[in-house]
Amino acid sequence: MKKVDIKDFKTLDFPENIKAIYVIFFVRDNKEIPFYVGETGRFLGRISDYISANFKASTDFKIGEAIKYFQEKGLKVIIKYKPAKDRKQEQSEIIKDFQSFGYRLLNELVGYDYKIADESEERERIKKFCDNILIKI
């Protein structure tokens, strides 16, 4: 039996579950381009929701698919976050601020009813929105 060498493991401090606002960016030519502004009372769980990108959860699917799409295009995706007390108000202010500078955000893309929507059509709609973001920068 092989002996476990724990020094080969990476360390991750166990994170707190924070109430936060966050911005998701893709990085192109060393420039961070925002494409979604969110708020949550369960930050780590929220990020995990985007990884799973469940079609039954419109926002999770939309953001998760966009992240995958940007990564498929060779772009790095990052998240910046900070604790917030009035999350919805701060989210709204950040969205307005980014939009005033001409950024298109996935927050603008209307959700769908998973019971009647077609998953492949929704995925294509998200990709088209992302392509429009890429064209305009």
- Domain residue spans of the chain: 14-135
Q: What is the pTM of this model?
A: 0.89
- pLDDT band of residue 1 (cuts 50, 70, 90) is low
Distances (CA, A) of 62 to 8, 29, 81: 36, 24, 19
| Mean of pLDDT over the chain | 94
- pLDDT band of residue 67 (cuts 50, 70, 90) is very high
- pLDDT band of residue 13 (cuts 50, 70, 90) is confident
Can you point out the beta strands (E) in 4-91? Answer: 20-28, 31-40, 76-83
Q: Given CA atoms 137, 54, 118, 92 in this order, what sign does their dihedral have? A: negative
Q: For residue 49, give both structure tokens.
A: 């929701």
DSSP state of 41: S
Point out which residues pair with 24 in neighbouring strands.
Answer: 36, 79
- pLDDT band of residue 103 (cuts 50, 70, 90) is very high
